[in-house]
Amino acid sequence: MGRYILKRIGYMFLTLFIITTLTFFLMHSIPGDPLAHMAKKLPEQIRLNYYEKYGLDKPVIVQYGKFLKNVITKGDLGESLRYPGRSVTETILKNAKVSGRLGIQAIVIGVTIGIVLGIIAALNRNRWPDYLVMFIAILGVTVPVFIIAALLQYLFTVRFELLPTTGWGKFKHTILPTIAMCFGSIATYARYMRSNVLEVINQDYILTAQAKGVSPFNVVRKHVLRNAILPAITILGPQIAGVFTGSFVIERIFGIPGLGFYYVSSISDRDYTMIIGTTIFYATLFVFSQLVVDILYGVVDPRIRVSKSGK
Amino acid sequence: MMEGISKDKFKKISIDISAGEQIARPRMTYWQDAWRRLKTNKVAMLSIIILLTIMIMTIIGPYLSGFPYEEINPAKINIKPNSEHWFGTDELGRDVFSRVWQAGRISMVIGIVGALIATVVGSIYGAVAAYFGGKVDTIMMRIVEILMSVPYLIIVILISIITETRSIGTLLVSLTLTGWCGMARLVRGQMLQLKQQEYIMAAEALGVSPWKIITRHLIPNSLGIVIVAITFDIPGYIFAETFLSYIGLGVQPPSTSWGALASAAQQNFIFYPHQLFFPSLMIALTMLSFTLLGDGLRDALDPKLRQ
Amino acid sequence: MRFKKYLSLTIVLVLILTALTGCGKKDAVNDTGSQESEGQVVEKPLDSEQYLNLVMVAEPSTLDASKGSDSYSNGILNEVLEPLTRLEEDEDLKNVLRPAGASEWTHNEDGTVWTFKIRDAKWSDGVAVRAQDYEYGIKRSLAQDTAAPYAYLLAPIKNAAEVNSGQLPLEELGVKSLDDNTLEITLESPTPYFLQLTYQRVMMPQRQDVVEKHKDKYGSEIDTLVYNGPFTITNWVHNSEIVLTKNDNYWDKDIVKLNSVNIKILNDENAIYNSLSNRSIDSSGVGKPEWIEKFKGNKDLNHIEVTNPQTFFKFFNTKDKVFSNANVRKAFALAIDREELANVIFHGINVPAYGWVSPNISIGDEEFRSVSEEPIRKLAADNPNPKALLIKGLEELGMDTDPSKLTVKMTLGSTDQWFRTYGEYVQQMYNKNLGVNFEVEFVEWPVFTSMAEKGEFQIGYMAWGAEFNDPISLLSLLKSDAGSIQTGWSNERYDELIDLASKEMDPKKRLEYFAEAEKILLYDEAVLAPTVYPKYNIFRYKYVQNLGVTPFGTAGYKYGFTQGR
């Protein structure tokens, strides 16, 4: 296992390198430059000065070399072009903390509710609790999140002035965004759990356990849950990565200083350093979560030994 | 002694091999059986009816009200639903009824075609990776990680610049270019589990070719989870387009989609709820129907669930 | 306020900013039926707690006065640094330039050497404010390696261009401090609008020791900043909130009544309006007509209408085959029903524009627009049939004169919902009025700028606002060497007129030059087709008093207070 993990970490760096390189050249190939956000065409001299200061006058390949050197030797992702003076690394870490807190809150609640609903539905297959539970679980994701968020905000902050409209810092600020965000997890997990529990429940070992007189509760807890939860882990992986990258829509509507904003705005602002920074951040989380998922496969399901893959 | 028996005593009968298989009931294929079971599922049937209705309406709906979907009428801005404009009008006085169905065409096509492409590509890719395992698996999964990590908005912008349009085709390309990766990972996960099963080992021992094992055994047996994923993917693509519309990178006018209609109406939903309600209702109905149909299909298709 | 971020944001979002920087036109204050208009309440005592909650639609890019150019950081800098002068408002809400960082100033006979007396004051960290701080600020803004986007505003200063391009060392710049309290600025030539530059961010004071300590990080976080304005910044959560607190070291601190101003950074329109509805914020610009109607019905809110010194306009690529012809351009400039456009697209909020220089820009003591007729009105009167003009133009070009065989494309630099609606509307309008095939293309703003630069468009659409209160701010953009609006157009007489006006001290003569220049631009050549002057609506709870309201004014929150909250 140890060698396998080591090898996977090696691959991880290679993958990250390719992602970074690809993104670097892709982003320089879309038209526009970081000065565009200033909305007007600036005099030529101003533009020359700006390009020179930020090294944008050099060929892309030279810029890439310089960037790589800084990342590898100093671990420095550089300075934002859109927000002069701000370090990309610091900005990402600071905002990821905010997004992370909100996202984890939403995922924990969403996954818990989703798993419980999924099991209830499966155990009552094709009877009214099944329909009701699944209907509730799905309802929250049938409407785009920007509509749900806008409705929640109007309802709970204007119609009934119960919660703050926007802002960040206290628990009460997180309530509405968390609700808006957890619908997705509820629906996803409820459906996957229902599907998996149904599959597991017909396996011979469940029958055996039942025949041996194991209580229904213990059957579910010891046999069904453990075997049914595997595919759920597959989707949890990328979701955890997504937690720290935030949600553009939710952050915008509730005025939350998270990272989601930068994923969209850095691209439309052509803030090259920020684009690369956020990409590396997301890719690292994502690739790492893949590794963890693969390892967890082995732990949760003893039948699978990834290390022995190959036939 | 034998010769003593007269040949007359023997009667030649014909051998009808097919008759041996004859059973009282008509034979049912896997699909017929699945369909029979699906038919008993009322929720799934209702979903099919709703979906068919929506699809038919997206074809004929834009012509029913008598108002072309793109016709501007400055005199009739933002009016409520009435007998003339069944769903009301929008900020430029265009008929919302016509627009909703016109938009449905784009949304439905994006959802269904997008999901199909993703499923086909993703399943095969995931199955191949899982079946061969080892180096092949590692490299194939790293490629998926790369594709999933490159900022998707850059790709959307890039493709719209290269093709110089933001047509439905361009959108489909940008959405599916990385969209199949999720399916590939899901199928791979499922396959890793399946390939340890005894019947796969048996097939291998009998010398069945890898391609046949993948297509005959691995894919059909993970069909359940794939079907669930497809019915999730269709609304997923509709939603992805909705998000692009929200940030302004969706379909280009005069084309429109449910997402474009909804994000336009969201700004003013307090004043003109009807403009938000109808596209949202369509998105919700479609999503709900596909999801419930998916659950029904899963139950019907799963050989292990035969009662 | 004069500087817009994205064009898209300008139209939809910047509206709200007006509330913050306090642009406004007091004579247009629409008091919604109450007697308590601003400044008239005398019976109520001041609130014991003096604070304001306001909103801003985007994060300030940087509070480094030299870098950045967005209106959001301009607004904040105005509150926390003390420029040489402030443009304040008198009782009649006319703008008056008042001493601020400089207590007085004089100039030599021909107006080329200006001497400012710097007031005795302290920075927020207790260090004395000196003339050298102002000198350093200006020089840093012009230094080549600062790469300040706004540096070009300082062009009238002697050797500014040469210093900015690195041809001359910084010491050659016409700015020097004679002693701790005297700043001398030498100009290239007499500049009638020079004082309008003295309250711009690129002329604000900066502390050399602080800047050198933090280097590139200066202005990015509050721990890198010192202040000498009415307020200091006590909290800055990027993309969320900025908290201003009264500066006890401010030279004029007795006049400052507000103890704190909390500015939320929000860019979702509905979130902003919801916040205003439930009093989470005290004042905001409102762009949506439905919300404007709703807030008008709220008895607790004052409604302030602001015509901002901006123009929304279409511009033609004169290097394009079709649009190289003036008659074709005129046809397209005239085929817009500006009244209907203002009503349908802008819901009657904006004012139809028939000129390039927007209202609220003055020349001498008069508003330019009130003394100079809008050229497109005359163009329309002389040419009642735009389609005939088009046919004439096509004939001159030797092209097929059937308009229905002509396909023309307009490129819009935004993918926003609003632009989609706008594009679809314009498309129908041109189809109807000129009978041409009119296509609309929507691209992201940075893509648009790059296409415009390469001349890969036929008709473009933009908004531009004046940077300072002088018609030259807008008219100089069309000089052939300005390259600001990519029309590819150049005209010797036009260039000559602008050069003359930029050196002429007599307002009467300047008016003549400007009027002729605008006529060339719009009547003779029709290079641009202005469509509307944006008008913004501010809603402010009635207890909010004395925030600056004029478009160019920089008084900000200095004199603000609340009464009867």
Summarize pLDDT for A208-254 with one digit per residue, the tens. 888 888 887 787 777 777 777 766 666 776 677 778 877 888 888 88
How many Å lie between the alpha carbon of A237 and the closest alpha carbon of chain C?
28
A39: which 2 tokens? 């909305």
Q: How many residues does chain B have?
A: 307
pLDDT of C40 above 80 = no
In A, minimum Cα distance to C240 occurs at: A257
Rounded to an integer, the average pLDDT of C448-466 is 88
pLDDT at C417 over 70: yes
Distance from CA of C245 to the nearest CA of A (A): 19
User: Is 70 exceeded by the pLDDT of residue A97?
Assistant: yes
Q: Which chains touch A (3 or more CB pairs under 8 A)?
A: B, C
Indicate which CATH number applies to the domain containing A217.
Answer: 1.10.3720.10
Alpha-helix runs per DSSP H in chain B: 17-20, 30-39, 42-64, 96-132, 134-149, 152-162, 168-194, 198-205, 210-212, 219-221, 223-246, 258-266, 273-301
Taking any CB pair shorter than 8 Å as contact, residues of chain B touching chain C are 70, 72, 74, 77, 91-92, 157, 161, 166, 247-249, 252-254, 260, 263-264, 266-268, 270-272
Residue B151 forms contact with A (CB below 8 Å): yes
Instruction: State the average pLDDT over residues A287-297.
Output: 78
Please state the domain count of chain A: 1
pLDDT higher than threshold 80 for residue A304: no
Interval C145-157 mean pLDDT: 90
Lookup: tokens for A115: 């798993």
Say if A281 falls within a structural domain: no
Q: What is the pLDDT of residues C241-281, one digit of tens each?
A: 999 999 999 999 999 999 999 999 988 888 899 899 988 89
Chain B neighbors of A15, CB-CB under 8 A: 142, 145-146, 149
Q: Mean per-residue pLDDT for C324-335?
A: 91
The verdict on A94 touching C (C-beta cutoff 8 Å) is: yes
A31, part of any domain? no
The model's pLDDT over C467-477, given as tens digits with 9 standing for 90+, comes to: 888 899 899 88
Which residue range(s) make up the domain with A201? 93-236+246-257
Helical (H) or strand (E) element with C245: strand C241-246
The closest alpha carbon to B156, from A63, A250, C415, belongs to C415
pLDDT interval class at C173 (50, 70, 90) = very high
Residue B6 tokens, joined? 């007269």
Amino acid A209: pLDDT: 82
Contact flag C59-A83 (C-beta cutoff 8 Å): yes
Q: Distance (Å, rounded) from C-alpha B94 to C-alpha B266? A: 17
Whether the upstream peptide bond of residue C446 has omega within 30° of 0, thus cis, is: no
Nearest partner of C550 among C30, C194, C21, C195, judged by Cα: C21
How many beta-carbon pairs under 8 angstroms link A with C? 172
Query: What's the pTM?
Result: 0.82
Residue B300: C-alpha distances to residues B33, B44, B194, C254 (Å): 8, 10, 20, 80
Q: Tell me, what's the pLDDT at C204?
A: 94
pLDDT digits (tens, 9 = 90+) for C54-64: 999 889 999 99
- Residue scoring higher pLDDT (A90 or B254): A90
In this predicted structure, what is the pLDDT of residue A260?
86
Chain B residues near residue C424 by CB distance under 8 angstroms: 70, 72, 92, 253-254
Cβ pair A253:C270 closer than 8 A: yes
In three-state secondary structure terms, B90 is: coil
Instruction: Tell me what the mean pLDDT of segment C112-116 comes to.
Output: 94
Q: How far apart are CA C260 and CA A273, in angstroms?
A: 35
User: Could you report the predicted ipTM of this complex, rounded to two decimals?
Assistant: 0.81
Is residue A300 within 8 angstroms of chain B, CB to CB? Answer: no
Average pLDDT over residues C454-476: 89
Confidence of residue C543 (pLDDT cuts 50, 70, 90): very high
Residue count of chain C, please give it.
565
Whether residue A301 lies inside any domain: the answer is no
User: CA–CA separation, C142 vs C202, rounded Å?
Assistant: 8
Show the tokens assigned to B59.
């074809």
CA nearest to B260, candidates B67, B32, B70, B107: B107
Strand ranges of the sheet holding C310-316, from the earlier edge strand across to the other edge: C351-352, C528-533, C310-316, C459-465, C407-412, C437-442
Give contacts of B283 with chain A, Cβ < 8 Å. 142-144
Distance (Å, rounded) from C-alpha B97 to C-alpha C331?
A: 36
pLDDT of residue C23 exceeding 50, the answer is: no
Mean pLDDT of B88-92: 81
Cβ contacts of A190 on chain B, cutoff 8 Å: none
pLDDT in tens, C200-220: 999 999 999 999 999 889 999
- Three-state SS at C62: coil
Is residue A6, in this structure, part of any structural domain at all?
Answer: no
pLDDT reported for residue C3: 33
Per-residue confidence band for B307, with pLDDT thresholds at 50, 70 and 90: very low
Assess whether pLDDT exceeds 60 at residue C41.
no
Q: What are phi and psi of C148, to 5 degrees?
A: -75, 125
The answer to whether the CB of B213 falls within 8 A of the CB of B200 is yes
pLDDT band at A265 (very low <50, low <70, confident <90, very high): confident
Residue A286 lies in a domain: no
Evaluate if residue B303 carries a pLDDT over 80: no
**Within an 8 Å CB–CB cutoff, is residue C296 touching chain B?**
no
Residue C540 · residue C302 · CB < 8 Å: yes
Which of A201-205, A250-254, B103-107, C75-79 comes out lowest in average pLDDT? A201-205
Confidence of residue C198 (pLDDT cuts 50, 70, 90): very high
How confident is the model at residue C10, as a pLDDT? 38
Q: What pLDDT shows up at residue A88?
A: 92
Residue B304 has pLDDT above 60, yes or no: no
Within 10 Å of residue C209's Cβ, how many Cβ atoms? 11
Phi, psi of C185, rounded to the nearest 5 degrees:
-120, 125
pLDDT, residue B193, reads 77
Query: A279 in a domain, yes or no?
Result: no
Element (H, E) at C351: strand C351-352
Place of tokens 């930029």: C502
Kindly indicate the confidence band of residue A299, based on its pLDDT and cuts at 50, 70 and 90.
Answer: low
User: Domains in chain C, start-ordered, CATH in brackets?
Assistant: 9-304+537-562 (3.40.190.10), 310-533 (3.10.105.10)
Q: Could you give the CA distance from residue C247 to residue A45 in angstroms, rounded to a whole number? A: 37
Question: Among A55-64, A209-218, C285-294, C469-478, which is the least confidently predicted range?
Answer: A209-218
A40 pLDDT above the threshold of 70: no
The tokens for C191 are 């500049």
Span B23-35, average pLDDT: 68
Residue pair C204/C83 in contact (Cβ under 8 Å)? The answer is yes
* pLDDT value of residue C113: 94
Q: How confident is the model at residue A65 (pLDDT cuts 50, 70, 90)?
A: very high
Does residue A82 lie in a domain region?
A: no
With beta carbons under 8 A apart, name residues in chain A contacting C268.
252-253, 255
**Cα dihedral B88, B92, B97, B100 sign:** negative
pLDDT at A309: 41
Look at residue B3 in the predicted model and tell me its pLDDT: 61
Report, as an integer, the average pLDDT of C398-419.
Answer: 86
Q: Do B267 and C269 touch (CB under 8 A)?
A: yes
B160 to chain A: closest CA residue:
A30
Ranges B75-84, C179-188, C281-290, most confident: C179-188
Q: What is the mean pLDDT of chain C?
A: 86
What strands lie across the sheet with C301-307, from one edge to the other? C283-286, C535-541, C301-307
Instruction: Say how many residues make up chain A.
Output: 311
Residue of A nearest to B278 (CA): A143
What pLDDT band is residue C20 in, cutting at 50, 70 and 90? very low
Residue at A97 is within a domain: yes
Chain B: closest CA distance from residue A141 (Å): 8
As a whole number of angstroms, the distance between CA C210 and CA C52 comes to 30
pLDDT at B2 over 60: no
The whole-number pLDDT of residue C138 equals: 95
Are B247 and A287 within 8 A, CB to CB? Answer: no
The confidence band for C131, taking pLDDT boundaries of 50, 70 and 90, is very high
Per the prediction, chain B carries an average pLDDT of 80
Helix (H, G, I), strand (E, B) or coil at A200: helix
